[in-house]
Amino acid sequence: MNSRNHLAFLLIFFTTIIFHPYTTSSSSSSTTFHFPTLSLQNLSLLGDSYLRNGVVGLTRDTGVPSSSSGTVIFTSPITFLNPTTNSTASFSTKFTFSIQNPKGISSSGDGISFFLSPNNHSLGSPGGFLGLVNSTQLTKNKFIAIEFDTRLDTHFNDPNDNHVGLDINSLNSIKTADCSLIGIDLKSGSYITAWIDYWHDGNNLKVFLSESESNKKPIYPILDVDIDLSLYFQEVMYLGFSGSTEGSTEKHFVTNWSFTSFGIRHPKPRIGNPHNVSDDTVAKNPAIEVPNNVGDRNKKHKKIGLAVGVLGPVFFCSVLVVFGYVSVKKWRESKMDMNIQAELLTGPKQFSYKELKVATNGFHSGRIIGHGAFGSVYKAVFVSSGATAAVKRSKHSHEGKTEFLAELSIIACLRHKNLVPLQGWCVEKGELLLVYEYMPYGSVDKVLYQESGHWGFLKWNHRYNIAVGLASVLAYLHQECEQQVIHRDIKASNVMLDANFNARLGDFGLARIMDHDKSPVSTLTAGTMGYLAPEYLQYGKATDKTDVFSYGVVVLELCCGRRPIEREPGGHKMINLVDWVWELHSKGAICDAVDKRLNKEFDPDEVRKLLLVGLSCANPDSEKRPSMRRVLQILNNESDEIAVPKMKPTLSFSNSLPLSIEDIIVSSLDDDEEDASAKASTNANLTVPVIRIDG
């Protein structure tokens, strides 16, 4: 939009706001509000919803497939039922919404809904649950909803992927209507206006849809249901919108909203009514009272008109000056937006399945360079450009799909020099594929343990820089992102090395996003044994401090060249790396833990510092672990070292694991030894002895 058009737009917009501001009014019997644009003054956002430039987005705006759900709710409860007079409200609402996909991408699902709910804090699951119900508790949330569904979900008896339906406490619609019958495609990206009218006296609900620019209410409804909603109304209820996606790039927006309710009767006071007779009638169209002193009011109106005629031009000129200032400011901001858009255009692209299949030689087993819980990783060479990439191919399972969507939606929004750059993605032919920049030296795990020809290149300065780079990216994820990212699977095999031996963190399949300072939610434990913090094993609560513990273990690996848990040479006793280093520290010989393969070619002060950082991060007491920002400051000589106790702290829990850690490790070793040859042939990143406990 050029500056001239922008000025005209602002002039029209602000004139509309000044002379027709949004209004909200309520009484004991009715509620009315009108929002030409939306703001947080009267709305609450839940889940992934957000407000941008007066428009509410209900799901994530990532440009890549993701699973997401969000809700926006009018903050004030509205009366729908008066049990004393046994009267029920009628209501009418109008709003404009748009369901969009990025240009050139067709990835529909799942839609939005307008709902009434007895509570203002429920948030449903992504996907076909439309953000209305929880996937594990389908009957918990109570609601009356009009759904605008863009995905055919046979589980809920959907007729097609372009319909409107009435839902009451269930996603199996009471009645549906095909939007294509009136020439509307819900996912076309156009702005669609909806009207929903419920008339209690007639026990009838109607839904109208229009895609025309005139925004005129159609004569005939698309959905017409005879139903008595008073059976489902609570005394007060909340209004709102919800939306969801699952493996989709679909975005859901609500741009304006108005609502009115009427028809609630209240008992009349007894004073002045000796017969105590109440009026039980409700007019469908309330009469407009005509005042007696019409002439006096006309005179007043003429005076007001004269004043407006004189002061109007002065006020209008003042407004133009303000508009000019705002226009210049917005023009500068638009230049910044164009730069941001240009940056996004260079981000992850959508590859075709054919392109990736050719690049990986038909996903040939000889191209496999690693394995993980997600699936297999292939080396891809693009013939057209000669570029090399790494392609992660998902397992064909629900878990694989969940990890794929988590990794794609999270890492596509992240920008840091110590992350493995995401180049693109592909969802085609039932395949879930992620394309990453190729890391020529593979993982730290591979360089340290698997390929003896490489470890000689991993000098001490490389190892120290890897620890610094990993600390830097974790500080970014924990404290510098808009929402905190908990990786949940920090380990040597997920820290990749580029051509200059810089650390690049990858594999976000188990990562979780949460708001800063929000209490963690208990989940199934996920990660790799040996890297899991004790409190995470016990309670299943992943926090930034559980990532810090895993980081500490990786740092000790870098210094010592030993796995987190390994069998004692020539024996059956298991050695825990953290315990082993802490024991040397208690003897005042912590530097004896350094990797002997370094041939004493290292800085003793740096070795001591890094080992102590590793122990402080791996402290069993999560409260004593430093933040990753503090760790980075210590490694960069910007902060003093943390005092590490000579004896390793011990913790006790009220509940015990169903199986001891030692039993789990021994069982894992026995199983791994039986198929060691099979694992060796795949050059797996996850090498024995480790256990994955995935949630």
**CA proximity to 368, closest of 28, 30, 681:** 681
Any idea which residue has 């406990």 for tokens? 693
Give Dmax over CA atoms of the chain in angstroms.
109
The H or E element spanning position 617 is helix 604-617
Q: Provide the b/e sequence for 526-541 (b: ≥16 CB within 10 Å).
A: bbbbbbbbbbbbbebb
| Exposed e or buried b per residue across 652-665, where buried means at least 16 C-beta atoms within 10 angstroms of its C-beta | eeeeeeeeebeeeb
**96 vs 191: CA distance, rounded Å:** 6
H-only helix segments in 452-601 = 452-455, 460-475, 534-539, 544-560, 577-586
Contacts of 257 (CB under 8 A, 6+ apart): 33, 34, 35, 38, 93, 94, 95, 96
Nearest C-alpha neighbor of 68 from the set 251, 337, 308, 292: 251
Q: Tokens representing 153? A: 């979900």
Q: Binding site: what residues are annotated?
A: 392
Alpha-carbon distances, residue 332 vs 6, 136, 293, 324, 325 (angstroms) = 12, 48, 54, 13, 11
Q: Which residues are the active-site residues?
A: 489
Tokens of 355: 């392109």
Residues 405, 509: Cα–Cα separation, whole Å: 8
Please, which contacts does 455-461 make with residues 24 or more away whose CB atoms are closer than 8 Å? 455/561, 455/597, 456/597, 457/501, 458/501, 459/598, 459/601, 460/598, 460/601, 460/602, 460/603, 460/606, 460/607
- Expressed in percent and rounded to 5, the helix, strand and coil fractions of the chain are 30, 25, 45
Distance of CA 245 to the CA centre of its chain: 11
The residues near 17 (Cβ < 8 Å, ≥ 6 apart) are 36
What is the C-alpha separation between 138 and 132, in angstroms, rounded? 9
Q: Compute the C-alpha angle 442/444/447, nearest 5°.
A: 70
**Kind and range of the H or E element at 505?**
strand 503-505
CA gap 208, 443 in Å, rounded? 57
Q: In this structure, what DSSP letter does residue 217 have?
A: P
The residues, ordered by sequence, that sit 6+ positions from 135 with a Cβ below 8 Å of its Cβ are 124, 125, 127, 129
Interior/surface letters 590-611, b for 16+ CB within 10 angstroms, e for the rest: beebbbeebeeebeeebbbbbb
Terminal alpha carbon distance of the chain? 47
Query: How far is Cα of residue 682 from the mean position of the Cα atoms in its chain?
Result: 34
Residue numbering of the annotated binding site for ATP: 392
Name the residue type at position 507: D
